[in-house]
Amino acid sequence: MALWAGRFSKEIDAGVNAFNSSIAFDARMYRHDIQGSIAHATMLGDCGIISKEDSKTIIEGLTAILADLDSGKLEFDPNAEDIHMFVEAELTKRYGDVGKRLHTSRSRNDQVALDLRLYLRDEIKEIRGLVEKLCAVLVKLAEQHTETVLPGYTHLQRAQPVTFAHHLLAYVQMLLRDLGRLDDTAKRMNECPLGSGALAGTTYHIDREETAKLLGFDAPMANSLDGVSDRDYCIELANTLSIIMMHLSRFSEEIILWCSWEFKFIELDDAFATGSSIMPQKKNPDITELIRGKTARVYGDLQTLLTMMKGLPLAYNKDMQEDKEAIFDAVDNVKLCLETFTPMLETMRVLKDNMRAAAAKGFINATDCADYLVKKGMPFRDAYKISGTLVAECISRGLTLETLPLEEYQKMTPLFTEDVYDAISLETCVRGRVSQGGPSPKAVAEQLRLVKTKLGLA
Ligand code: ARG
């Protein structure tokens, strides 16, 4: 019999029940549902809305149900409409009338809003930890490669020399901002919707401050209509997660390129790559491709949430049940990606020599060649033109700026002397980039110091 059998004269159609039910995906919030109910029952007892004795029984009953669900002794009923109804029905099954008192002055609308906040608050903490772990691995790798020169690219054309440490730390900066966004989201969503009732609060003299405090919220939400119908926090989190995925996806794209024979800057550990069913020579970077692919799916989750909310009048509407699968999918996939990506990076082999060889080709010291003349007094535009002409000369003769004879330089301007070769050597070019935030080992050391302080690794 459905809970609302009083109003209804028929049982719900089996197909409709299955269609309507959310237990298949909201069962995962059972711990948070029970946590919320325990706080609610505590408050009801403290406020004299139910007797202290009933409050105690309900709390003991909920604690026992939690233990039975944890141990697998109690199984979810797939026919229950949702996790909230399931737990309440189980309590009533065990304790009769006492169990029936739990839902006094509460609705599933404020209950589900509460459960989802509690659940996502925990997930954010976990994701935060995974992002920090990835940062720590990148920092460690960066510390080993402050002198490892590789070409920096723009338009995927070799541009100017950087170091591998500098390149990795660019991702750490992105991830630090992601951590900030996770914190912002967690902070803003940390208000308690419980006590909003179905939409219009309640006539009981409940203590919303107490439940908010018991559940670790900063405050109760200020408006009951907003309390039951706000899903901003899901959207904000999905947005934050989409940005994390975008960062992982860009990094993945680079790993994919670096694994190719065209680059060969890194070699993935065998445990983190796959072979081909037909081509015996293959070693594929599947993990990174899958991360790139899953990024699309997390963006999709964000779109689902935004679109689901856009036409909803106040307050609760059943459309909002769709929030869970979308945000759970985003959370699950971000965690999966981070859990796989980090050890993959930790175990990959960095092929320094190939990076160095790539840096030696592609005239990435042409800017430095121009700067050499500027430092001898020539205006930059003129120096830029001379350097470009020398590059064209090298290309036509199959030379590099390092191997072009001094006479060729001097034909352009007598400002060139023997020391030009030192000025354009890759080592000088990297070491000279001392500007704050630049790739020189000195600037990178400072960046590492700041990053480590932020991450608590110092
Ligand atoms: N399963 C529902 C959800 O996920 C819980 C709230 C149901 N409230 C209601 N009035 N039907 O949104």
- Number of domains, the chain: 3
Mean of pLDDT over the chain:
96
The four Cα atoms 65, 106, 21, 316 give a dihedral, to 10 degrees, of -150
Residue at 264 is within a domain: yes
> Which pLDDT score is estimated for 178?
98
320 Cβ below 6 A of ligand 1: yes
> Which pLDDT score is estimated for 230?
98
Mean pLDDT of 2-19: 87
Residue at 453 is within a domain: no
When mean pLDDT is compared across 124-133, 167-176, 234-243, 424-433, the lowest value belongs to 424-433
82 Cβ below 6 A of ligand 1: yes
Q: Looking at the structure, do residues 351 and 374 belong to the same domain, yes or no?
A: no
CA 12 – ligand 1 centroid, Å: 16
Fill in the DSSP letter of residue 284: B
- Count CA atoms within 13 Å of residue 294 on its CB side: 24
Q: Looking at the structure, do residues 329 and 244 belong to the same domain, yes or no?
A: yes
Fill in the DSSP letter of residue 48: T
Task: Give Dmax (Cα) for the chain.
Answer: 101
pLDDT at 183 over 90: yes
> Which pLDDT score is estimated for 282?
85
22 Cβ below 6 A of ligand 1: yes
Q: Looking at the structure, do residues 352 and 382 belong to the same domain, yes or no?
A: no
Encode pLDDT of 44-86 as tens digits.
999 999 999 999 999 999 999 999 999 999 999 999 999 999 9
Ligand 1: which atom is nearest the Cα of residue 83? 1
52-71 vs 30-46: helix axis angle to the nearest 10? 170
Residue at 7 is within a domain: no
Q: Looking at the structure, do residues 333 and 401 belong to the same domain, yes or no?
A: no
The residue whose C-alpha atom lies closest to atom 11 belonging to ligand 1 is: 318
> Which pLDDT score is estimated for 1?
66
109 Cβ below 6 A of ligand 1: yes
Question: 324, 357, 390: which is the final residue of a domain?
Answer: 357
Residue at 449 is within a domain: no
The DSSP code sequence of 53-65 is HHHHHHHHHHHHH
Residue at 87 is within a domain: yes
> Which pLDDT score is estimated for 278?
85
Q: Looking at the structure, do residues 164 and 292 belong to the same domain, yes or no?
A: yes
Q: Looking at the structure, do residues 37 and 57 belong to the same domain, yes or no?
A: yes
pLDDT bin (cut points 50, 70, 90) of residue 458 is confident
Residue at 279 is within a domain: yes
Q: CB pairs under 8 A, 24+ apart, for 15-21?
A: 17/79, 17/81, 20/81, 20/318, 21/78, 21/79, 21/80, 21/81, 21/82
Q: Looking at the structure, do residues 348 and 377 belong to the same domain, yes or no?
A: no
Query: Domain residues for 244?
Result: 109-146+153-188+195-357
pLDDT at 3 over 80: no
Q: Looking at the structure, do residues 297 and 167 belong to the same domain, yes or no?
A: yes
Question: How far apart are the C-alpha atoms of 149 and 352, rounded to whole Å?
Answer: 8
**CB contact burial 221-230 (16+ within 10 A = b; e otherwise):** beebebbbbb
Q: Looking at the structure, do residues 296 and 377 belong to the same domain, yes or no?
A: no
Question: 340, 357, 374: which is the final residue of a domain?
Answer: 357
Q: Looking at the structure, do residues 169 and 309 belong to the same domain, yes or no?
A: yes
Beta-strand ranges (E) seen in 173-215 are 191-192
Pocket test for ligand 1, best of 112, 319, 327 (most atoms within 8 A of CB): 112
Pocket test for ligand 1, best of 20, 82, 103, 234 (most atoms within 8 A of CB): 82
CA 108 – ligand 1 centroid, Å: 6
Encode pLDDT of 139-169 as tens digits.
999 999 999 999 999 999 999 999 999 999 9
Query: In this structure, are residues 147 and 353 in contact, taking their beta carbons and an 8 Å threshold?
Result: no
Q: Which two tokens stand for residue 439?
A: 């790739």
229 Cβ below 6 A of ligand 1: no
pLDDT at 276 over 90: no
Tally Cβ neighbours within 10 Å of residue 214.
19
| CATH value at residue 399 | 1.10.40.30
| CATH value at residue 82 | 1.10.275.10
Residue at 48 is within a domain: yes
Mean pLDDT of 132-137: 98
Closest CA to 208 of 221, 225, 190, 189: 221
pLDDT bin (cut points 50, 70, 90) of residue 137 is very high
Query: In this structure, are residues 391 and 363 in contact, taking their beta carbons and an 8 Å threshold?
Result: yes
Q: Looking at the structure, do residues 279 and 157 belong to the same domain, yes or no?
A: yes
> Which pLDDT score is estimated for 5?
80
| CATH value at residue 341 | 1.20.200.10
The residue whose C-alpha atom lies closest to atom 2 belonging to ligand 1 is: 321
Mean pLDDT of 15-29: 96
111 Cβ below 6 A of ligand 1: no
Which sequence positions are flagged as catalytic? 155, 276
Could you give the C-alpha distances from 227 to 106, 201, 423, in angstroms and in order?
Answer: 12, 10, 65
Mean pLDDT of 228-241: 98
% the chain with pLDDT above 90: 94
Handedness of CA 430, 435, 438, 444 (dihedral sign): positive
> Which pLDDT score is estimated for 279?
85
Encode pLDDT of 358-396 as tens digits.
999 999 999 999 999 999 999 999 999 999 999 999 999
Closest CA to 174 of 142, 147, 138, 129: 138
% the chain with pLDDT above 70: 100
Q: Looking at the structure, do residues 262 and 302 belong to the same domain, yes or no?
A: yes
Residue at 441 is within a domain: no
pLDDT at 2 over 80: no
